[in-house]
Every structure is written in structure tokens, then in C-alpha cells.
Amino acid sequence: MYRSNVLVCGGTGCTSSHSEQIIEELKKQIAAKGLEKEVNVVRTGCFGLCALGPIMIVYPEGCFYSMVKVEDIPEIVEEHLLKGRIVTRLLYQETVAEDTIKSLNHTPFYEKQRRVALRNCGVINPEAIDEYIAMDGYAALGKVVTEMTPDEVIKVVLDSGLRGRGGAGFPTGRKWAMAAANKADQKYVCCNADEGDPGAFMDRSVLEGDPHAVLEAMAIAGYAIGANQGYIYVRAEYPIAVKRLQIALDQAHEYGLLGKNIFNSGFDFDIGLRLGAGAFVCGEETALMTSIEGKRGEPHPRPPYPAVKGLFGKPTILNNVETYANIAQIILKGADWFRSMGTEKSAGTKVFALGGKIKHTGLVEVPMGTTLREIVEEIGGGIPNGKKFKAAQTGGPSGGCIPASHLDIKIDYDNLLEIGSMMGSGGLIVMDETTCMVDIAKFFLEFTVDESCGKCTPCRIGTKRLLEILDKITKGEGTMEDIDRLEELCYYIKDNALCGLGQTAPNPVLSTLRFFRDEYEAHVKEHRCPAGVCKSLLRYVIVADKCRGCTACSRVCPVGAISGTVKNPHTIDTSKCIKCGACMEKCKFDAIIKE
């Protein structure tokens, strides 16, 4: 029995900030002080508050150390672990109250969250199956195969109201029921862990922090539909997730929780790992299955749907990582428990990767129906540097922008669709007043054009034409007819593209046109970018009565575009200026402005 447990984040974000070296140094210092039998070091998954990583929590005190460096470890071991004195300078300050440490659950970032899919992330060692089992792991699988019929399992999932967390929100139970109803000699269960949206890292974090939750849920799904084989399709760019998945698979086989005769029930189920090469289109279900088959990842027309004819032509269900992460808890706690969270049509919680112009970037899980304002201002800590909230992009390249006028919208599947956005997998990128919405639409179209598989003309050619028009507008060369043409082309692509990715590609353009049309018109009519982002429309100017003649700007200008003498106002030759902004960053007197 250890007197102290030190939990260190081992997710990708903290690992990139040297958490592995921190763990090594911790073990070294603990050994040097002779504390090996008293202090246990645990590598966990993501705690969620990525902006403050690397993160370390010491129990039983619950001290939350943030932005820890390797050089801080000797002090933490000496002062805290040996002498029992908390190193207050390293504490997450919102956990400090009147010289005491308050619970993380009572800090603004965590108190409005409800962790279901993320329940074990940051809590257990994801590479230790015994720790997962200690948290009721595989109890749901045991209950299902020894006490329930496949139809009873599907009914619980149906009654829970769980909708797919990967995009469109199709009811999970209905998908399972369709596959179960199709008689075949072979069926498959697939997991979509391809997560290709810019700014999205929800599925990656679950796989890194709680891989057994996905394996258990896939086995439950296999029992429910009559399948004995599953596949996890994960992108190779997630090396930590891949490693921990493989460890989890090996452990589950060793414990008899995958393979033949699970729980002596006569039920067989196994899972294979398949690595994707990073093609965004392979996040689409039919393209993903084609890739698993060893072919070029391209989508196919539907119907027939995968539940009828999927992988290798057999009935197949495909859910994403977050969807599966809810299954075991629904089986153990019941449909009513799950429905007690969220809204009538969108039950449960949703995980969001919170990024962009926000104080607390990271991973959050909130009940469906939580307002965007609560996520941005309370959980996320608001917009830094005194800037104002302008919009939030949800659903990545397939989603749309939510403007400040809808800041109080309750986030669920139907509300987002109503305003031209979508839930998507859960990326939530916050933008402030310095963001150009035309440029944002252009950014997502560049991504879509680059990632289009090219199989259908509306997507292959149509998105390129959209990008060309957007590029023309951001250069100040657009016309009002271009805006009309842009809108017309968007609707054509939506109606005629082959797969869901192509059909939703115009969403960022349509939503910005809907809520920020004035910015498009400013680019066209006034040849001006209101946010000062589009370089072709920018002009840097020195305000003479503010300039002190310090020469700092002229010294950093890479092209010699700034002239003037010491202690006298300087000027910028716009014909030479490359609009890099170095002068504006260097000026201490706010004498340089963008027009």
C-alpha cells in the first residue's frame, strides 16, 4: 500500500512537453530518497486541461501541479513527497483556496463537466488491464454474455438514446438492430479511430487514456449483432494510441477477454488493428471499410448501407471511439441513467476538443444541451488578451461557424443543424475579432480540396472552383456576382457529391455567408479585410504623432521598406512592404496600424 500516488499525464500533448522525461526523473529522485515502497508513479491518459501541461497530480492530497518541468522534480520529491510540504509555486492556482487545496471538481474548468466517455482518462494507467478492471472494466461484457440476450442488449442501447458521436448523430441502437436483423455467415464490428478534422483530438485521447473501454464495447457490439470479428481503423500518426491499443489487445487476450469462449459463454470475438495513412476521406464509413480491405480508400454510394453490405460485402456496424466509450456504462447503469443527462433528442454527454483563441485549450466533456457560452466563458476561461468572441467552428471542415449572436445556443445535434453547423466528431475552434471569416472558409476549403479522394466530380472539381472564388475575394479581386456564384455552387455540391464529406464540404462557406456576409462584401466592395488578415488587402501605416523615431521598426524590416531619422517620425514605403507585420510587433508605442 503506497502512501502517495503521483499521476503524470502521458497523453500526446504532455508527452510532447517532456512528460516522459519527467516520469523518468521522478522515479530516479524517488529511488535516491529511498521512497520506492512509499510513492507510486502512474503514467495516465489526458487530464483534459492541455493548456497547462505537463500535468501531475499527487494523491491523497489532490495537489494539481501544472506546467511542470524536469528541473522541478527534485524540489517536488524533496519538499512534497519526502517532507510533506506542498510546492505552491507549481500549483494550478484555481485549486488554491485560503491556504488549502480544493477539489479539482470545484474549479471552473471541471465543475460543469460530466465525464462518462473520459471517466478513466487521467485516472488509471491505460497500459494496466488490472486498473481498468478495478474500475468495473469488463463487468459489462460479463453481464451481457452471461445474463442478456442480443436483443436485450440492443434494446438497452436503443432506449438510452445514444447517437453516434462521429458526425451525423445516427441512433446507435438502430444501426445495431439493422445489422442484427441481417442473416449472414459472417458479420463485422468496426471502430472508426481515423479522426482527421483539424483541431480534433477526442478519440485519440480516449484511446491513449482508456483503450480497454473501446475493446469491451466492440465485444458487446459483436455479441449484440452476431459478429465474431472486429477491426479498429486508427491513423498511424497516433503512435501512442496505437501502442496502447496493442498492449490492451495483448492483455485482453491473455486474460481471456478476447478470443474464444469469452466468460465460458460460448461467445467468440477477436479484434484486429489496421493503420490508416492519414487520408481524411477514410473517416467516411464506406471509404474506411474499403481501406481495411486493402484497396484505395474511396467511398461508395449508399444504399446498400454497411449494416446490410459492408466490410468484405458482409453486414457491418461502424461506430467511432467516443460512441463505444459510452457503451459499457450504459449496460451497467442503464438507459435511464444515460437519458438523465443531455436533452430529449440528444441524450448523454459530448466530448469537445476546445482550441483556438481560448484561455483553457483542452479536452472537455459536458452534458448535451450545455450552452456555447458556458463552454467558452466558464469552462474555457474566455477569450485571452481582452479580445471579444466572434465565432466558434464546430464539426471541422464539415461543420459551420456559430456567431456571437448564437452564443447562448444549447449545443445538441438538432440545434446545430438548425443554424447551419453540425456536431461532427467534436472539434470546437474558438475565434476572436482578429479572425477573418472569409479566410476561415478559405482555410477549410484548402483542406477539403487537398483531401478530396477525387472520385466524384462535384467534390473533385466543385471544391476547387469554390476555393478559386474565395482566393479571388481575399485578394480584393472579387465581384458581387462571385458571391452569388459561390452560394449557388455550394448548394450544387451539397446536392450532388457522392459521400457525406463532399456533401458537407460547403458548410463552412455557407455558414460564414449566412452570418458574416458583410465581411465578404467589405472584401469585394471596399477592397478591405475588416479583421486585417488578408495580406493582399492590408496596408501598414505609421501614425506620425505616435512615432518616437526609435528606429526599432526599421531595424527589423527585412526588406528596408521603413525610412526615417532618429527621434523623427518614420514612414513605410508600401511598394516595398511585404506585410510581414514584424514592424508592428516590434513597435512599443502603438504607432503602427493596419488599414
Q: What is the phi/psi pair of residue 95, to 5°? A: -95, 0
Whole-number pLDDT of residue 196? 82
DSSP state string for 10-33: -SHHHHHTTHHHHHHHHHHHHHHT
Total residue count of the chain as it appears in this document: 595
Dihedral over alpha carbons 420, 424, 428, 432 (to 10 degrees):
-30
**What is the distance between the alpha carbons of residues 344 and 347, in angstroms, rounded to a whole number?**
6
**What is the distance between the alpha carbons of residues 157 and 155, in angstroms, rounded to a whole number?**
5
Type of residue at 546: K
Q: What is the pLDDT along the chain (595 residues), one digit of tens a residue?
A: 899 999 999 999 999 999 999 999 999 999 999 999 999 999 999 999 999 999 999 999 999 999 999 999 999 999 999 999 999 999 998 888 766 777 788 888 999 999 999 999 999 999 999 999 999 999 999 999 999 999 999 999 999 999 999 877 899 999 999 999 999 999 999 999 998 888 889 999 999 999 999 999 999 999 999 999 999 999 999 999 999 999 999 999 999 999 999 999 999 999 999 999 888 899 899 999 999 999 999 999 888 999 999 999 999 999 999 999 999 999 999 999 999 999 999 999 999 999 999 999 999 999 999 999 999 999 999 999 999 999 999 988 888 899 999 999 999 999 998 888 888 778 899 999 999 999 999 999 999 999 999 999 999 999 999 999 999 999 999 999 999 999 999 999 999 999 988 999 999 999 999 999 999 999 999 999 999 899 889 889 999 999 999 999 999 999 999 999 999 999 999 889 998 889 999 999 999 988 7
Pair 169, 163: CB distance under 8 Å? yes
Would you give the end-to-end CA distance of the chain in angstroms?
A: 66
Whole-number pLDDT of residue 198? 83
Whole-number pLDDT of residue 427? 87
Exposure string for 305-326, b = 16+ CB within 10 A, e = fewer: bbbbbbbeebbbbbbbbbbbbb
**What is the distance between the alpha carbons of residues 396 and 407, in angstroms, rounded to a whole number?**
18
**What is the distance between the alpha carbons of residues 116 and 330, in angstroms, rounded to a whole number?**
10
What secondary structure letter does DSSP report for 228? -
Cut 0.85: pTM above it: yes
Whole-number pLDDT of residue 318? 97
Whole-number pLDDT of residue 397? 87
